[in-house]
Chain A
């Protein structure tokens, strides 16, 4: 999987699950302030990320997520520790 594909998956989840406008989503978008998600939405996000990565997201790492790019970075790290290569 490439970085671009991971980003596409994440934005796809955000659009489908939270009915966001794709035009509003950028890597630097802050989930709570810019995209208006809340902590209950975060549960749905973790369920979706679990489905993408097949791994249980570490709650400590999850707590540090602020932006869309943070999610992408987290998913890349999950793939890396699962031994799945992430390309360019």
Chain B
């Protein structure tokens, strides 16, 4: 087991801003693997009638992978914006999640080349039950030729 690490708040490492930071905290971050935590709460974006579409898993995956790059590049002067390029093998084992559901979100890099990478991601309810999984392809860092935003 790793020694406990005090990870920064996600708003310090993600380019997203509340309320669109949909995950709660970074729990573990290695060079090529990452774990975040999220609990579905009333009032959060996309929560309606006490539940949220399981399609939100994709954004949980994307923000979790963004947290990996944000954390590993946290000493850089630039906020690096990335993009979700696509997903493959998306598997949802529920149509909706409920307010109060607590998840861990895992991402494991399976390939990277240049600014592109692919991660295998899983959403686990209660830390054990896999409720969603997918492979997501991402572009990390700003696309070539785009303006960069300096960290405030």
CB distance B88 to A62 under 8 Å? no
- Nearest CB to that of B116 among chain A residues? A43
State A43–B2 Cα separation when bound (angstroms): 32
Binds A, one of B36-44, B106-114, B144-152: B106-114
State A59–B111 Cα separation when bound (angstroms): 11
Which residues 84-103 of B sit at the A interface, judged by CB distance below 8 A?
Answer: 85-86, 88
User: Which of B88, B113, B135 is in CB contact (< 8 Å) with A46?
Assistant: B113
Contact string against A for B residues 105-129, beta-carbon threshold 8 Å, 1 for contact and 0 otherwise: 0000011011011100000000000
CB distance B114 to A59 under 8 Å? yes
Which of chain B's residues have a CB closer than 8 A to the CB of A56?
111, 113
State A47–B119 Cα separation when bound (angstroms): 10
State A50–B117 Cα separation when bound (angstroms): 12
CB distance from B29 to the nearest CB of A (A): 21
CB distance B110 to A50 under 8 Å? yes
CB distance A59 to B113 under 8 Å? yes
Also in contact, A47 and B110, with CB within 8 A (given A40-B85, A40-B137): yes
- Judge if A34 is at the interface, Cβ distance under 8 Å: no
CB distance A46 to B114 under 8 Å? no
State A57–B114 Cα separation when bound (angstroms): 11
Contact string against A for B residues 128-150, beta-carbon threshold 8 Å, 1 for contact and 0 otherwise: 00000001010000000000000
Which of chain A's residues have a CB closer than 8 A to the CB of B111?
43, 46-47, 50, 56
- Judge if A44 is at the interface, Cβ distance under 8 Å: yes
Which of chain B's residues have a CB closer than 8 A to the CB of A46?
111, 113, 118
Which of chain B's residues have a CB closer than 8 A to the CB of A43?
85-86, 111, 113, 116-118, 137
Contact string against B for A residues 51-69, beta-carbon threshold 8 Å, 1 for contact and 0 otherwise: 0000011010010000000
Q: Can you list 22 A-B contacts (CB < 8 A)?
A: A17-B88, A40-B85, A40-B137, A43-B85, A43-B86, A43-B116, A43-B118, A43-B137, A44-B88, A44-B118, A44-B135, A44-B137, A46-B111, A46-B113, A47-B110, A47-B111, A47-B135, A50-B110, A56-B111, A57-B113, A59-B113, A62-B113
Having A43-B137, A56-B113, one finds 4 other A-B pairs with CB under 8 Å, namely: A43-B85, A44-B88, A47-B135, A50-B111
